Amino acid sequence: MSKDKIVVIGAGFSGCTAAYLLSQKGYDVTVLEVEAHPGGGCWTRFHGEHPYTIGPRIFYSYNKDVYEHLDSFVKIRKFDTRTISYIEKDDCFYNYPLQYDDLPLMPDYEQIAKELQIAKEGELNFDNFEKYWLSAIGPSLYEKFVDDYSKKMWAIDSNEELSADFKWVNRGTPIRDGDSRLFGDQFQGYPFAITGYNDYFLKSLENSKVHYQTKVTRIDADKGFVEANNQSFEYDILINTGHTDEIFEFKHGELGYSGRTIIPVVLPSKFAFDNPDYFWAHYSGKQPYTRAVDFKKVTNNESETCLLTLEMLSDETRLYPKQTARDLKIFDRYKSEFPSNYYAIGRLGKFKYTGITDAIEQAMELSEELG
Ligand SMILES: Cc1cc2nc3c(=O)[nH]c(=O)nc-3n(C[C@H](O)[C@H](O)[C@H](O)COP(=O)(O)OP(=O)(O)OC[C@H]3O[C@@H](n4cnc5c(N)ncnc54)[C@H](O)[C@@H]3O)c2cc1C
């Protein structure tokens, strides 16, 4: 007996993994992707001979099954990632996440030490993101490392808009003592292949029908079809990994996303940053970019020159689901009306700030659930 028809919206990590696992089980899988390629921002593109993605996309995970699954498609080169942050006020780069050892190097160390003592004696405030960070590290460090960076990163006017559950900076650890790696996860790295994760996406889709440049703009849940490019695609099961508001015709309003465009710059040196440990620099001030990435550190591309990318803020792309109280409320309204046989996975499908490992893991869990 033939299995159900599945339509997957979006061909990023979550959509491709779901398509692979479910087509292996005999489902009839169709994937609809608005772009001309799979992978979303994780698709490797080239500036001249230099490979890059939309922002560095390092794999990091505690999940051995996810790591082994990915590694069986694209062999992962393991490394630890370290980053720095440029603080304009001090005209200085410091380790990022914040390190106790760096604090005495700061010109306002005395004041910082006083504020940290007050923070230590006080209680953490969970009213919102800003209050959390002020109560955790005091105003001086907050202003240097968190305040402007977070507003820029999330394209918001006030950090009070973000919830305290979403601690985000330093992944919930205010100041580190010793371990200067950005990610503490057991498995971390990036594919050896110069085309990065591309083979993962292409191989995952081999047994599915894939339609590129096909944007889903409507779901008819009663009749069981989605509409894209004036065509209908019938389904028994619908898996959404794309922008939720678009496919529900914005009926509960537009969800907020923070977008980026990338400016690739080739430099006449082997690496952009001399220090072999530093992969990228965060810019915490009012510069129009959030990060400068030394991309060869990520891709290991062989070349006499190197590629630096600047991540500029942009309204043109919808990348980071904004974790503000307003947007989470809008998403909840959509969620309360998700139809039956509809499954939301991935970063856009669930409207959460999550990583590659989560996208793969959620697709694995869904495949188990569907049987
Ligand atoms: C700049 C940046 C840097 C990041 N760095 C890291 C990192 O270092 N490590 C890490 O683990 N994670 C990182 N992430 C997050 C990680 O890349 C994502 O969590 C992961 O790739 C999400 O995969 P996904 O399949 O859920 O979503 P996506 O990759 O976004 O895939 C969704 C797909 O759906 C398509 N789509 C959307 N709407 C529609 C529609 N209406 N119709 C048809 N198609 C549609 C999109 O084009 C896209 O291809 C980063 C994210 C960003 C933005």
Encode pLDDT of 255-309 as tens digits.
Answer: 999 999 999 999 999 999 999 999 999 998 889 999 999 999 999 999 999 999 9
CATH 3.40.630.30 fits 5-43+197-255+323-370, yes or no: no
Helix (H/G/I), strand (E/B), else coil: 178:
coil
Res. 84: pLDDT tops 90:
yes
CA–centroid distance, residue 13 to ligand 1 (Å): 7
Residue whose entry in the numeric block shows the structure tokens 């991540």 = 311
Where exactly are the structural domains of the chain?
A: 5-43+197-255+323-370, 102-172
Query: Considering only CA atoms, which residue is closest to atom 21 of ligand 1?
Result: 356
pLDDT number for residue 180? 82
CA distance 305 to 266: 7
Residue 187's pLDDT band, with cuts at 50, 70 and 90, is very high
pLDDT number for residue 173? 67
CA distance 176 to 178: 6
CA–centroid distance, residue 11 to ligand 1 (Å): 9
CA–centroid distance, residue 184 to ligand 1 (Å): 22
DSSP per-residue letters across 241-258: -S-HHHHTTTTT-PPPEE
pLDDT number for residue 240? 98
CA distance 366 to 237: 12
Ligand 1 pocket mutation, candidates 74, 347, 353, 365, criterion most atoms within 8 A of CB: 347
CA 344 to chain centre: 17
CA–centroid distance, residue 137 to ligand 1 (Å): 31
Res. 32: pLDDT tops 60:
yes
Q: In what side-by-side order are the strands of the sheet with 187-191?
A: 59-61, 187-191, 76-78
Q: What element of type H or E holds 149?
A: helix 148-154
Ligand 1 pocket mutation, candidates 35, 241, 323, criterion most atoms within 8 A of CB: 241
Res. 208: pLDDT tops 90:
yes
pLDDT number for residue 169? 63
More confident residue, 188 or 3: 188
The phi, psi pair for 102, rounded to 5°, reads -80, -20
Please state the rounded mean pLDDT for residues 133-161: 93
Ligand 1 pocket mutation, candidates 7, 8, 14, 298, criterion most atoms within 8 A of CB: 14
**Within the chain, what is the greatest distance between any pair of CA atoms?**
73
What are the tens digits of pLDDT across the range 295-306? 999 999 999 999
CA–centroid distance, residue 194 to ligand 1 (Å): 20
CA distance 99 to 276: 19
Give the number of other Cβ atoms within 10 Å of residue 340's Cβ. Answer: 7
State the average pLDDT for the chain: 94
* Residue positions counted in the chain: 371
Which of ligand 1's atoms lies nearest the C-alpha of 247?
41
pLDDT number for residue 3? 83
Residue 172's pLDDT band, with cuts at 50, 70 and 90, is low
CA–centroid distance, residue 39 to ligand 1 (Å): 7
Please, what sign has the CA dihedral across residues 170, 142, 128, 131?
A: positive
Give the residues surrounding ligand 1 with Cβ less than 6 Å away. Answer: 9-15, 32-35, 40-42, 54-58, 60, 215-216, 241-243, 246-247, 260, 319-320, 346-348, 354-357, 359
Which of ligand 1's atoms lies nearest the C-alpha of 215?
42
Please state the rounded mean pLDDT for residues 218-225: 96
Q: What angle do CA 324, 153, 54 make, to 5 degrees?
A: 115
pLDDT number for residue 352? 94
- For residue 45, the one-letter residue type is R
CA distance 142 to 347: 27
Residue 297 CB burial class (10 angstroms; 0-12, 13-18, ≥19): buried
Which of ligand 1's atoms lies nearest the C-alpha of 214?
43
Please state the rounded mean pLDDT for residues 8-23: 98
CA–centroid distance, residue 104 to ligand 1 (Å): 39
